[in-house]
Amino acid sequence: MPKDLPRFKGNLAYSTNKALQLSGTEHESKGTLAPALQKLMVKLDNKKRAGKVVTLVEKFIGSEEALEDLAKLIKTKCGTGGSAKDGIIIIQGDVVQKVKDVLAKEGYRTN
């Protein structure tokens, strides 16, 4: 079996039907919710960071591109560094109030 073919679950070994769609093989696109529909959690954290304090923005529902764009906006407005991955934005330093202000201005609800 060629390596470039996807592995299928179930009992299907081979099919000549080119229109065959097996469940679980299609790529699901994650849609981004509108800012007014999201409730983001902003909190302070210092675990696993050698005692350094960071501000976390959690519970973002959307694509990785939208997450990166929001993180870039927050980092620019707060004048700090940070990163974004797995639905969490990490901003360096204790800037919880600034982050909440930026998110509110963009239409996001926060805790």
Confidence of residue 19 (pLDDT cuts 50, 70, 90): confident
In the chain, beta strands by DSSP E: 39-45, 54-58, 82-85, 88-92, 109-110
Separation between Cα atoms, residue 80 and residue 7, nearest integer Å: 44
Residue 6 has pLDDT above 70, yes or no: no
Q: Tokens at residue 83, please?
A: 């990163």
Supply the DSSP string of 24-40, one letter for each residue: T-SPPP-PPPPGGG-EE
Separation between Cα atoms, residue 2 and residue 35, nearest integer Å: 44
Is residue 102 within 8 A of residue 78, CB to CB? The reply is yes
Note the pTM of the prediction, 2 decimals.
0.71
Structural domains in the chain, sorted by start: 35-110 (3.30.780.10)
* 22-77 confidence digits (pLDDT tens): 655 444 445 888 999 999 999 999 998 888 999 999 999 999 999 999 999 999 99
The pLDDT, as a whole number, for residue 26 is: 44
